[in-house]
């Protein structure tokens, strides 16, 4: 749960929308949060904290069915590092992607980078492994993490060298992808709403820090080397993503808007058509943003839909222009978009599903399909958590 949930309900009532049965919402909360471990005490403390400060909680959207389970991935030995729901119909006018290349233009130089995967539903398992896969190769098993962090907040750095995660007690850890060099960076860190997100240079993490009473009030940047924390007043909401140019986007959490700002919290604006009065859609989960901050992959739901838990979801059913809110058309061949990750060169890796099979489609920054690769069936029960060069 995050510290803004009730505000969404109050806002909806103020706009005279159909009342939502809170008991039904609670019953619909995902099973993975049911097993999520020891947040009841801190959640109660956050409620008290929110009441004292005039804030409240927004119920976040159900994520839909998890990907179709697959077999345990076949893997190679891990070397030391060297360097769900059906998409809602569009309610915004779609915009055509930028002009594609012609025969007189050079072929696209976009290529698949390395993809990192984490579990979707760990069930009763105590630990779970992360995996890496480069299309055309073989999945590589990485370090094992406690099941909760592996599913809900593990984050791989943009340089592909390190992973950060927050355990249930609030301890923030980092290590290499093979588990070496593990060290604790901080205590009392939010593990749900503002889970750790790497800066583009892989030197800082955006985190939300808490107090001993379980409340969370300070959001900002934590230097990975020194441990120094710098509060950023303009950071709030949930589930931030970083663009290479320093743009930060996150779900507001109170009314379903998505906020775009810079690393200092300045230049704050919202993406049109999400959460504002009269808009069809709301969004509480963002997955990836393009290097220039102009396109964003996220999960939209109808504003009259069902709302549930606050856990991170990396599903995406739309890519939007952050300036206009319009949908960016993608060459998916009629297949269902499940995840979408921008790479450093501006290209997009779209994970699509047809039946029980997953395919990755590489789309260059001009909107042209470059390649597609069938994903190993062994990764079907997992989700992409990062795409790096």
User: What angle (nearest 5°) sits at the alpha carbon of residue 205, between those of residues 200 and 206?
Assistant: 105
Query: 256 Cβ partners below 8 Å, 6+ apart?
Result: 8, 58, 274, 275, 281, 282, 283, 284, 303
Query: 281 Cβ partners below 8 Å, 6+ apart?
Result: 88, 91, 92, 256, 273, 274, 275, 300, 301, 302, 303
Please state, as a whole number, how many other Cβ atoms lie within 10 Å of the Cβ of residue 333: 11
User: How does the average pLDDT of the chain come out, rounded?
Assistant: 79
- pLDDT for 109 equals 85
- pLDDT for 11 equals 46
Cα 96 to chain center, whole Å?
A: 25
Query: Rounded to whole angstroms, what are the CA distances from 190 to 124, 178, 310?
Result: 22, 24, 12
Query: 16 Cβ partners below 8 Å, 6+ apart?
Result: none
Query: Rounded to whole angstroms, what are the CA distances from 322 to 31, 248, 260, 294, 319?
Result: 32, 11, 8, 5, 9
Q: Are strands 94-95 and 327-328 parallel, antiparallel or unpaired?
A: parallel
Q: Rounded mean pLDDT of 304-330?
A: 89
- pLDDT for 105 equals 54
Domains parsed from the chain with CATH numbers: 5-388 (2.120.10.30)
Check pLDDT > 70 for residue 46.
no
Query: 42 Cβ partners below 8 Å, 6+ apart?
Result: 210, 214
Please state, as a whole number, how many other Cβ atoms lie within 10 Å of the Cβ of residue 43: 17
- pLDDT for 108 equals 76
Residues 7-35 have pLDDT tens digits of 444 444 444 333 333 233 333 334 344 43
Give the burial class of 157: count Cβ atoms within 10 A of its Cβ; 0-12 exposed, 13-18 middle, 19 or more buried.
Answer: buried
Check pLDDT > 50 for residue 41.
no
């Amino acid at each position: 749960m995050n510290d803004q949930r009730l505000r969404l309900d109050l806002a909806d009532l103020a706009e005279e929308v159909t009342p939502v049965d809170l008991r039904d919402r609670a019953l619909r909360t995902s099973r993975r949060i049911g097993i999520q471990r020891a947040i009841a005490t801190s959640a109660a403390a956050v409620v008290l904290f929110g009441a004292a400060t005039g804030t409240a909680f927004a119920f976040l959207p159900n994520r839909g069915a998890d990907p179709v389970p697959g077999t345990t991935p076949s893997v190679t030995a891990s070397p030391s590092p060297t360097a769900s729901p059906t998409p809602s119909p569009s309610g915004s006018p779609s915009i055509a992607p930028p002009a594609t290349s012609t025969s007189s233009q050079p072929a696209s130089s976009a290529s698949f980078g390395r993809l990192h995967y984490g579990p979707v539903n760990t069930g009763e398992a105590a630990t779970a492994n992360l995996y890496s896969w480069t299309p055309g190769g073989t999945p590589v098993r990485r370090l094992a993490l406690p099941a909760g962090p592996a599913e809900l907040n593990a984050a791989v750095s943009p340089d592909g060298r390190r992973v950060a995660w927050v355990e249930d007690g609030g301890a923030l850890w980092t290590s290499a992808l093979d588990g070496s060099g593990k060290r604790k960076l901080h205590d009392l860190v939010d593990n749900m709403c503002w889970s750790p997100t790497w800066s583009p240079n892989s030197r800082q993490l955006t985190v939300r820090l808490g107090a001993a009473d379980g409340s969370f009030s300070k959001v900002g940047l934590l230097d990975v080397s020194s441990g120094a924390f710098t509060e950023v007043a303009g950071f709030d909401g949930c589930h931030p993503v970083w663009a290479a140019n320093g743009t930060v986007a996150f779900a507001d959490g109170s009314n379903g808007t998505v906020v775009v700002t810079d690393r200092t919290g300045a230049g704050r604006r919202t993406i049109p058509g999400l959460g504002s009065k009269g808009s069809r859609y709301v969004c509480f989960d963002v997955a990836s943003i393009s290097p220039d901050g102009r396109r964003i992959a996220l999960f939209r739901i109808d504003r009259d839909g069902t709302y549930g838990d606050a856990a991170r979801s990396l599903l995406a059913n739309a890519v939007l222009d952050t300036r206009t809110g319009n949908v960016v058309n993608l060459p998916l061949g009629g297949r269902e978009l499940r995840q979408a990750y921008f790479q450093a060169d501006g290209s997009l890796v779209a994970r699509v599903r047809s039946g029980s099979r997953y395919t990755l489609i590489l789309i260059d920054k001009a909107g042209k399909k470059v390649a597609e690769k069938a994903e190993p069936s062994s990764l079907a029960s997992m989700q992409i958590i990062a795409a790096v060069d």
